[in-house]
């Protein structure tokens, strides 16, 4: 009987302690906020490759089959030479009609792009190259960070401040650079709420990241 009494007393004390703790928890919620920012956004595609022939000043990059329609022969591109920490301008000379042999099962096909390189001191055969092409560009547009966007199926939403708390508002998105995204419609100069999961009791809308 004494043992049961001790257990009962312990449980009662624990319940009172937890109850007091809940009662003492702050009732206010602090939200992180973000305002719309006017910026220029570029959607950039990158391609890896290497120097193939120093004498002829050529290199070869590889484009994924999903991006083959985004480049054409004669297109200018920017190439970064990692070994020299150097960025140079180049031109796509040709794009292969046939894909490279598959080496990994299930991998997507890659097509070789030969590029013309400028005469550069220190450039050697086999050095790695990273090419980039600006596919689309939007100048002086309303933007938000991707962290502030909530996605539900095909629709995008943000949370804005209302008189009685956060209000979900659908927005139309434009291009993204992988960090920020263009807001084409649905939002003016409202402050967007970034509901902090740590302070709002798990009300944080789903987040995404990454670039296209």
Across residues 190-212, what is the average pLDDT?
50
Q: Which pLDDT belongs to residue 169?
A: 92
Across residues 15-41, what is the average pLDDT?
62
Say if 62 falls within a structural domain: yes
Say if 69 falls within a structural domain: yes
Distance between CA 80 and CA 181 in Å, rounded? 25
Q: Which domain holds residue 63?
A: 42-137
Say if 113 falls within a structural domain: yes
Check which CATH number belongs to the domain holding 116 and give it: 2.40.30.170
The answer to whether 109 and 58 are in contact (CB under 8 A) is no
Q: How far is CA 120 from the centre of its chain?
A: 33
Number of domains in the chain: 1
DSSP state of 197: T
Say if 92 falls within a structural domain: yes
Say if 142 falls within a structural domain: no
Q: Give the phi and the psi of residue 35 in degrees, each rounded to 5.
A: -100, 155
The answer to whether 110 and 63 are in contact (CB under 8 A) is yes
Q: How many residues does the chain have?
A: 212
Say if 186 falls within a structural domain: no
The answer to whether 110 and 62 are in contact (CB under 8 A) is yes
Say if 85 falls within a structural domain: yes
pTM exceeds 0.85 for this model: no
Start-to-end C-alpha separation, the chain:
69
Q: Which pLDDT belongs to residue 172?
A: 94
The helix (H) or strand (E) run that includes residue 180 is: strand 180-185
| pLDDT single digits (tens) 73-101 | 998 889 999 999 999 998 899 999 999 88
Checking if the pLDDT of 14 tops 80, the result is no
């Amino acid at each position: 009987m004494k043992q049961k009494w001790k257990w009962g007393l312990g449980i009662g004390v624990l319940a009172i302690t937890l109850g007091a703790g809940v009662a003492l928890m702050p009732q206010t919620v602090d939200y992180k906020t973000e305002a719309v920012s006017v910026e220029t956004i570029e959607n950039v595609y990158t391609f890896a490759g290497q120097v193939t022939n120093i004498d002829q000043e050529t290199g070869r990059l590889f484009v994924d089959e999903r991006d083959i329609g985004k480049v054409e022969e004669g297109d200018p591109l920017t190439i970064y030479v990692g070994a020299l920490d150097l960025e140079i301008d180049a031109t796509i000379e040709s794009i292969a009609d046939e894909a490279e042999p598959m080496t990994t099962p299930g991998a997507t096909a890659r097509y070789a792009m030969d590029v013309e390189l400028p005469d550069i001191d220190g450039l050697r055969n086999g050095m790695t190259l990273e090419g980039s092409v600006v596919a689309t560009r939007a100048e002086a547009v309303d933007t938000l960070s991707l962290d502030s966007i909530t996605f539900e199926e095909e629709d995008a939403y943000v949370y804005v401040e209302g008189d009685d708390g956060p209000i979900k508002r659908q927005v139309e998105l434009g291009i993204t650079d992988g960090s920020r995204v263009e807001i084409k419609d649905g939002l003016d100069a409202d402050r967007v709420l970034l509901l902090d999961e740590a302070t709002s009791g798990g009300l944080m809308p789903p987040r995404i990241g990454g670039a296209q």
